[in-house]
Amino acid sequence: MTAAHCAPALDRLAELGLELPDLSAPLYAYVPTRRHGDLLFISGQISRCADGTILAGIVGETANLDDAVKAARVSALNLLARVHDAVGLENVDHIVKLNGYVASTSTFTQQPTVIDGASQLLVDVLGERGRHARTALAAPVLPANALVEIEVTVAVKPPAS
């Protein structure tokens, strides 16, 4: 493990030139996070940029692979903001599972490449704690016409005794 991966997550974000976005309240009848024991479940986060714009479209139709990878990274930043708000990034033991959805045509088959944009960002920020099991699926359309939506399950460190 490199020294960069040992740095606290917020320091790593700054080194990468990234900031956690401000969080908005859910528009519907759900909560953005739910903790159960040492697991934290994060509701799906779409590719909404910090300025409120949504990276939107359908890969293979109105967007390309690069657009979608960027959207996955934006979604991952939103996830990290939710995790930080719920428990603090320093309390992440590891990311257990990431489910990723890519709005794409029936002929586009590079969903794993798209979702790897999110996976790599989690590793870049959290180091080995960011490595996870993963599913990458196609979707005909996503909420708000977003290109990408991702959700994670996080193992949280036990409280210090």
Query: For residue 4, what pLDDT is reported?
Result: 41
Residue 158 binned pLDDT confidence (cut-offs 50, 70, 90): confident
Domain spans in the chain, listed from the N-terminal domain onward: 3-11+41-156
92-103/39-46 β-pairing: unpaired
62 Cβ neighbours under 8 A, 6+ residues apart: 56
Pairwise CA distance, residues 161 & 40, whole Å: 20
Cα angle value 96/70/65 (rounded, 5°): 105
Residues 150, 101 contacting (CB under 8 angstroms):
yes
Q: Is the pLDDT of residue 7 over 60?
A: no
For the segment 48-107, what is each residue's pLDDT rounded down to a tens digit? 999 999 999 999 999 999 999 999 999 999 999 999 999 999 999 999 999 999 999 999
Q: Is the pLDDT of residue 3 over 50?
A: no
7 Cβ neighbours under 8 A, 6+ residues apart: 15
Residue 161 binned pLDDT confidence (cut-offs 50, 70, 90): low
Q: What is the largest CA-CA distance in the chain?
A: 54
Q: For the chain, what is the radius of gyration of the CA atoms?
A: 15
Pairwise CA distance, residues 29 & 38, whole Å: 24
Q: What percentage of the chain exceeds 90 in pLDDT?
A: 88
CATH class of 3-11+41-156: alpha beta
For the segment 42-55, what is each residue's pLDDT rounded down to a tens digit? 999 999 999 999 99
Residue 26 binned pLDDT confidence (cut-offs 50, 70, 90): confident
Pairwise CA distance, residues 93 & 40, whole Å: 11
Q: Is the pLDDT of residue 134 over 50?
A: yes
